[in-house]
Amino acid sequence: AAGTGVWYAVCKGVTPGIYRSYLECGLNVSGIKGALFSTFDTREEAEGVLAEAQDAGWVEAIPRLVPL
């Protein structure tokens, strides 16, 4: 079905959002102190959790201090 597979929701990282690959997710959380992300089976699940985190004030863009 469309939209299924593995989806990554980055709640705290360089650029919070929904990502399709671990590479994209990793670029946003690797080396970031306090980074927070989860994996989901569908985009809808990932979007729902990210929206809940946003409402709770848990979503935060954390600047990268040291380049990858």
Range of the domain at 48: 4-61
Query: pLDDT at residue 34 above 80?
Result: yes
Considering its fold, how many domains does the chain have in total?
Answer: 1
- Tell me the C-alpha distance between 68 and 57, whole Å: 27
Q: How confident is the model at residue 3 (pLDDT cuts 50, 70, 90)?
A: low
pLDDT band at 32 (very low <50, low <70, confident <90, very high): very high
- What pLDDT is attached to residue 51? 98
- Give the closest residue to 38 by CA, choosing from 59, 11, 61: 11
**Residue 49 domain-assigned (yes or no):** yes
**pLDDT, position 53:** 98
Q: Which helix (DSSP H) or strand (DSSP E) does residue 54 occupy?
A: helix 43-55
User: Considering the domain boundaries, does residue 68 fall inside one?
Assistant: no
